[in-house]
Amino acid sequence: MDIRHTATTCPYCGCGCGLTLETAEGRIQRSVPTPDSPVNRGKLCVKGWNVHEFIQHPDRLKTPLLRTEQGWQSLDWESALDHAAGELARIRDQYGPDSIGVLTSGGDAPGMNAAVRAVTRLAIAKGVEVMGIYNGYQGLIDGEIKPLHARDVSYIINRGGTMLYTARSAEFRTAEGVAKAADVCRQNGIDGIVAIGGDGTFRGAVDLTDAGIPCIGIPGTIDNDIASTDMTIGFDTAMNTVVELVDKLRDTGESHARCNVVEVMGREAGDIALNTSIAVGAVTAVIKEIPTDFEYLFHKMAEARQNGKRNFIIITCEGMGPGYSEQLCKTIEEKTGIETRLARLAHVQRGGSPSAYDRMLSTIFGVHAAQLIAAENYGQAVAMAGNVVTHNPLSEVAGKTKFVPADAQAVRAARSMGISLGD
């Protein structure tokens, strides 16, 4: 008897065990495990050993069946596939295609529009409907929702601010507010949300995910204080703005032989202050992470003035607290005799057209978010780590602030250039 051996995969479960079917005289005689299969390694369960029995069982279905009011109707494969496709189209027309919402929340940051643009265009290309949610989480609660089409996000990549606007929501911080926002999503057929913003935005995204509306977070804040990512949208542009303005202050400081204390944003984190102090050649960066030895600093300033130095730039972080920079100006004048002025740059740092880097970063982040949506991999926060775009669980990122490490490369570089940091 001539026996033919056919290597195949067991169809019973998702393990995918390898087996060989032995066929003779037009019938499968037995099934045996494939010895070199990496899944089952020559073993089979009782169903695998007897798989040939159901293949040849007289009650096995041999044609597609359609359940009708008159009972089961036999169909050919072409008719069965046409029916399935028609039903899928009917469901799509009745309930709509997959739909996501995109919002910006918290403080605005240059580059948010570029991220909205990337998410919208790529999602639409993948057959996903995009709904723009205006005014952040409060707008979601209030139902400020409109469809976004590719044309709607044209010519926004160079615009500062956010076309979706932003707002802070006390109502969303309550359980009732989150539940209401989730209900609005369901009423509008929104299956998930891309939330662009800082730490507060991420915490809101976690709450919304827990309420049954899965979210993806894109880090957008000039403060660069989001855990797990090296860079956030808007950070580069904000630094460029600070550098441009401080360069102008240096001109007038040189003319009047003054010290300019420049207070920058950053919340509790000192990234903006530290990095811009290097870029402008400041005498010090005052940040919470590294306490400053002011007596030593004042000594250096007085000595430099005696040697002919006319202007001094000191960068302080807003996280030092209310009134800190004003008091520092008074102390400098008392201790050194150098006329000192305060420049609080405030919200001008959030404005302006995004830099080339922020446009690129925002686009990369938006594309990655859309790819996560296509893979239905929600609950993630997009990140840049070692110049590679990646993602981390939102629940592990939200609520964690990234501070400047004491041994950061920027800290070492600043000290090497004579910028006082803790000394």
CB atoms within 10 A of CB 157: 18
Tokens of 42: 């020559």
Q: In this structure, what are the phi and psi dihedrals at residue 184, rounded to the nearest 5 degrees?
A: -60, -40
Angstrom distance (rounded) from CA 119 to CA 117: 6
* Structure token pair of residue 408: 């950061």
Q: Are 213 and 182 in contact (CB under 8 A)?
A: yes
The answer to whether 223 is a known catalytic residue is yes
Q: Catalytic: which of 98, 191, 207, 223?
A: 223
Q: What is the DSSP letter of 169?
A: -
Amino acid at residue number 260: N
Residues 6+ apart with CB under 8 A from 229: 219, 381, 382, 383, 384, 385, 402
Provide the terminal-to-terminal Cα distance of the chain, rounded to the nearest Å.
92
Contact by Cβ (8 Å): 152, 93: no
CA angle in degrees (0–180, nearest 5) for 12-18-22: 90
Distance of CA 159 to the CA centre of its chain: 20
Taking the CB of residue 57, how many other CB atoms lie within 10 A of it?
9
- Active-site residue set: 223
